[in-house]
Structure 1
């Protein structure tokens, strides 16, 4: 049995649609320790969300598997909470009710109604949303909606918190503020986090480890970069930190190299497609 808290073992994923077969992931191997904050980064189409969905149990791997805390993952469960880029709040429920519905589902047999209410309030307080308990999603900002989504996920006491570009739709100021909140919460709870992001600075700021994916199809883990920066982290202080900038440059170089390969391949395809046309015109 793996000594790691979460293990992704030789995961492959192939999709079959309309008679076409696409190999999205190839031999994904990754180990994550309890309490680690891990970011997955890569160009669009590299299968980042597919990895997250397999860990969440939303889709099965074609081969290989995921082991969490000694048990195989083969279906969704409350031990893995997923926060999407879109907050996914129910618009007809209040802030309080959006969190309460998850808490009631998870703890109805183990907590009394009073205990569940207290737990909902505690988690909303953790994300600084106690002032908006009776507001509906349409009455609060995008950043507040994401706070509620994070509170709902945390309230389920998951073994792993899965974040699918949770700050991607927010303006820069709100994004930075919510990143700081997530760092504070993670430091307090010491929970295990896997986050998908396109943002290099975000990955370096938040992570203990950055997983860099190769381009799809048949994407795999290209490199894993350990981020050895002390916590708590201050984004202003890190801007001039030599190690921070070294990590940032390493991720940017990896992504640039993968993008260069894509552009080279695309150019070769265009040249190949143009050859028959050129031959016909010459004739």
Structure 2
């Protein structure tokens, strides 16, 4: 069987952070190949390096060793081929909904598309996230879910090769989150984007993903397991609730996370006991 060349490749990535002469190992030997059009979710306990991985792919951080290749080109800096959507919408508060998307489109397509073509493209992307009715509103005049829609529209308008989502639904209420998840599934099905998303939500990961990448606990975190999600698309959350495959995948992820938590708790308890003993000894000396 001939395997296609990965569209996104993370190869032998290590990451250390140093401050005050102390070096902290964050990531060790992270390797992942992603095919074009795949939806990948990164999940793991807080502090496992998920955001660090995403920021290295985005070009916001340089790995201590190893590297990232997107569509045959090495990632050395941020670029329009990788659009990042944060948990915080990051809209410019003095610009309208339309202008927040326009600023990205003008930057990317200046000299490549006419003003009319750029306007049509902006309107197309805002329509895709159901925000055409709020073109002239400022961010302060729309809800949190609507702000995230505009952030996603801005990212999609850049026509990125890889869409990076850093807990894009984490700050939203349950109903808004579910609706926006459905919108992202619809858009990804239509555009066949390559997506890498960070999440702490197991159900979200199973619902949206083709594969779930489970990270071990830090320090020196790495990929502990990759789970293939073999569920037909389009996916209906209500139908999947009674699907034994969905339940199985959910159980696999929860089991992995629970086992990692069980391993880290004795270490944390031992550190707490050690710290308490140190404080007690200092008190006695005093």
Structure 2 counterparts to residues 123-138 of structure 1, below 5 A: 123-138=125-140
Alignment-derived partner of residue 12 in structure 2: 10
Structure 2 counterparts to residues 135-214 of structure 1, below 5 A: 135-214=137-216
Alignment-derived partner of residue 21 in structure 1: 23
Alignment-derived partner of residue 48 in structure 2: 46
Distance of 2:203 and 2:276 partners within structure 1: 40
Alignment-derived partner of residue 259 in structure 2: 257
The two structures have a TM-score, normalised by structure 1, of 0.96
Structure 2 counterparts to residues 112-123 of structure 1, below 5 A: 112-123=114-125
Secondary structure of 1:91's counterpart equals coil
Secondary structure of 1:256's counterpart equals helix
Alignment-derived partner of residue 229 in structure 1: 231
Structure 2 counterparts to residues 263-282 of structure 1, below 5 A: 263-274=265-276, 277=280
Distance of 2:213 and 2:46 partners within structure 1: 15
Secondary structure of 1:257's counterpart equals helix
Distance of 1:186 and 1:271 partners within structure 2: 49
Cα deviation, residue 266, structure 1: 1.3
* Among 76, 80, 85, the residue aligned to 1:78: 80
Give 5+ residue unaligned stretches, structure 2: none
Distance of 1:194 and 1:67 partners within structure 2: 14
Cα deviation, residue 269, structure 1: 2.3
Distance of 2:66 and 2:44 partners within structure 1: 22
Distance of 2:20 and 2:201 partners within structure 1: 34
Distance of 2:171 and 2:264 partners within structure 1: 26
Which stretch shifts more, 230-239 or 266-275?
266-275
Secondary structure of 2:31's counterpart equals strand
Alignment-derived partner of residue 220 in structure 2: 218
The two structures have a TM-score, normalised by structure 2, of 0.95
Alignment-derived partner of residue 247 in structure 1: 249
Cα deviation, residue 273, structure 1: 4.3
| Count, aligned residues | 280
Which stretch shifts more, 180-189 or 264-273?
264-273
Distance of 1:138 and 1:19 partners within structure 2: 43
Taking only aligned residues, the RMSD between alpha carbons, in angstroms, comes to 1.5
Distance of 2:252 and 2:164 partners within structure 1: 24
Distance of 1:76 and 1:229 partners within structure 2: 33
For each residue in 1:12-54, what CA deviation from the matched residue of structure 2 results, as whole angstroms up to 9, or x when unmatched? Answer: 0001122221111000000100000000000000000000000
Cα deviation, residue 267, structure 1: 1.8
Cα deviation, residue 274, structure 1: 5.0
Secondary structure of 2:235's counterpart equals coil
Alignment-derived partner of residue 111 in structure 1: 113
Secondary structure of 1:4's counterpart equals coil
